[in-house]
Structures are given as C-alpha cells and as structure tokens.
Amino acid sequence: MPVPDADIHPEATGPAKALVASHQAEQPLKFYAGWFCPFVQRVWLALEEKQIPYQYIEVNPYHKEPSFLALNPRGLVPTITSPDESGSARPLYESTVILEYLEEAYPTHTPALLPKDAYLRARARIWIDYVTSRIIPAFHRFLQHQPNPASSTPDTNQTGGGGDELQTLRAEFLATLKEFTRELHPQGPYFLGEELSLVDVVLAPWAVRLWVFDELKGGLGIPAPGQGAEEEAVWARWRRWVAAVEGRRSVRETRSEREWYLPIYQRYAEDKAQMTVLPTRPTVIRNRLAFFGEMIPIMLLKSMNKHWLFYGYESDW
C-alpha cells in the first residue's frame, strides 16, 4: 500500500521557494528540511531572524533514505549538521534542541531569542514546553478527530460531523491558546514584550496554519472581534500576537502556498497521514519503535509519559 505522506509535493512554493533558492550554496551549516513541516519552520525562522548562513537541503522524511537516517536515526526533519574542527559534519535534531544550539553556537548573531536574565530564560522555557507538550497535541487531536459512526451523539454543532466530540476537542484546543495568551506580555506584541523570542518562534508555525480548521473542521471557533463577551480581552490579545508574528519577514518568507499544504492536512483530518495518534493506529507506533530497534513494550511507554501518544510531535522522548 502506498504511504500517503511519501507523495507530498517535492519542493517549497510561493515565498519559501525564493528563500530556498537563495540558500543552495555550500555552507558549513546544513539544514535538512521539509518545506511543509512546522517543526522545520521553527528552525528556519531562527536561522532567518539571526541571519545565520545555512545551506537548505530539501528532504522527504517519509522516504527514510539511509544517508538521512545516518544523520538522524529517527528520520525526522528538521536535522542540521555543523562541522567540528576537522570539518566532519556533526548532526543535531529535535527542533527545540536545535533552537537552543543556535542560540549558544552563534552568540554574536542577533537578535538573541532567549533573555539574558536566568529567571526570564527559565520562564521562557516553561512556555516553550507548554507549546510543545500541550498546544501542539491539542491542535492535532482536534485536527485528526474522526466521527465515530457508532456514536449516538448528534452533531449538534453542525461542524462537519462528529458533533459534540469535535466541539470538546475544539474547546480543549482553544483553552490551551487562552492559557498561553494570558501569559503574554500585556503590551507585547510578543510573548516577552517588544522583542521576538523562542516562545514566539516555537508556536508561530502552528499559528499561521490555523486556517486549516476553517477548511477542514468547520471552523476554528475563536470569536470574531467584538464577539468574545467576557473573553474579548484574551482573544484581542491573541489576535495582536498572531498579527505581529504573521508580519515578521521570516514568517512570511518561509511560507509556501496554501494549496500545497492543504492535501497534507486533509490526510491528517481524515486520519490517513502516515504519522498519527496511537489509540487509533497502534501498529504505526509499534512499527516505528521496531524500526528504531527500540522494542520497548508499548504499555510500559504508556505508563511512563502520557505525551508518548504523539511520537514525532514531542521533543521530550
């Protein structure tokens, strides 16, 4: 059976195409990327914001080429390589690890994306973790929800099937956004204030993909301006943060055309993507564990960490 995600469009389009074209020259830092991937976009944003020279190398991570697995045994993008003193390429992967590495390895490249003050830096890391461990899993539970044909629950919300369950997942996702928004600097526009930081960078790729819920799930559900009742202030602040993030040159230039993202998200929305939620597709995870030679009993993993459900979406494995 063909693997659906292996057929994704092979290259960036729109503004990202031009950016890719301007980063083909050989550079010490190699960026193994997939144009479509939000985790890749995190790293791409930092490289662009900090103007770190890099060579962009497009990889389809669903093909699992041996040469790529030799760099990253998990076979995931983003992966980078950076040479040691003798010139040998040293690989690194996991978007949040790469982001921290770029901060430390390129201290003269501004803007600094983590605060100098130790307390503020630690607090930023709490909210970076919140994005990865709470917001992104809730995004995917909402996106990948499938109506249960046997369920007697009526579709009281007329949101494209799945009714009340879908509404619950929508509300849970929006609750994570509200919790995040209440922590934003009051004036902002960014999380820490006037300057962009890694907290903004780790969430931005999902913030600019929220349109997929309008296309595929009957709407995101954030009230229109002026319609938020007692939540008006929090949603107004959220909108200001999104507008600031969307306006960044780095965000605009790393985006491809919507029409090429859509089939990918369509497969997630229909739960046909190669990477998926374990309870509905246990064999996917088991095969992947076997693939990495980690024959750990699945129930043991479950008792260790509830975030294991989103293998490939978690950096805390």
Q: Counting contacts by CB under 6 A, is residue 100 touching ligand GSH?
A: no
DSSP secondary structure letter of residue 2: -
CA dist., res. 235 & res. 266, Å (int): 27
Give the list of residues 6+ apart from residue 152 with CB closer than 8 angstroms, or none.
none
26 with 58: CB under 8 angstroms? no
Contact between 39 and ligand GSH (CB under 6 A)?
yes
Choice from 20, 34, 139, 176 touching ligand GSH (CB under 6 A): 34
Shortest separation between residue 94's beta carbon and ligand GSH, angstroms:
5
Under the binding rule (CB under 6 A), the answer on residue 94 touching ligand GSH is yes
Residue type, 250: S
CB of 253 to ligand GSH, least distance (A): 19
- DSSP string for 244-282: HHHHSHHHHHT---HHHHHHHHHHHHTT-SSS--GGG-H
Asked if residue 137 binds ligand GSH (CB under 6 A), the reply is no
Among 33, 75, 163, 237, binds ligand GSH (CB under 6 A): 75
Q: Which of 37, 80, 113, 199 binds ligand GSH (CB under 6 A)?
A: 37
Q: x/- binding map, residues 41-70, to ligand GSH, per CB under 6 A?
A: --------------------xx--------
Shortest distance (Å) from residue 61 CB to ligand GSH: 3
C-beta of 2 vs 226, nearer to ligand GSH: 2
**Residue with the two structure tokens 């983590």:** 114
76 binds ligand GSH (CB under 6 A): yes
CB 200 within 8 A of CB 191: yes
Which position has the token pair 């890749």? 40
Is residue 241 near ligand GSH by the rule CB under 6 A?
A: no
95 residue type, one letter:
S
What is the Cα–Cα distance from 46 to 54, expressed in whole angstroms?
A: 11
Residues 196 and 49: beta-carbon distance below 8 Å: yes
Output 143 or 222, the one with its CB closest to ligand GSH: 143
Query: Per-residue contact track with ligand GSH, 264 to 303, x per CB under 6 A?
Result: -----------x----------------------------
Taking Cα atoms as reference points, which of 1, 42, 4 lies closest to residue 254?
Answer: 42
Beta carbon of residue 273, minimum distance to ligand GSH (angstroms, whole number)? 9
CA distance 158 to 179: 27
Which residues here bind ligand GSH, judged by CB under 6 A? Answer: 34, 37, 39, 61-62, 75-78, 94-95, 275, 312-315
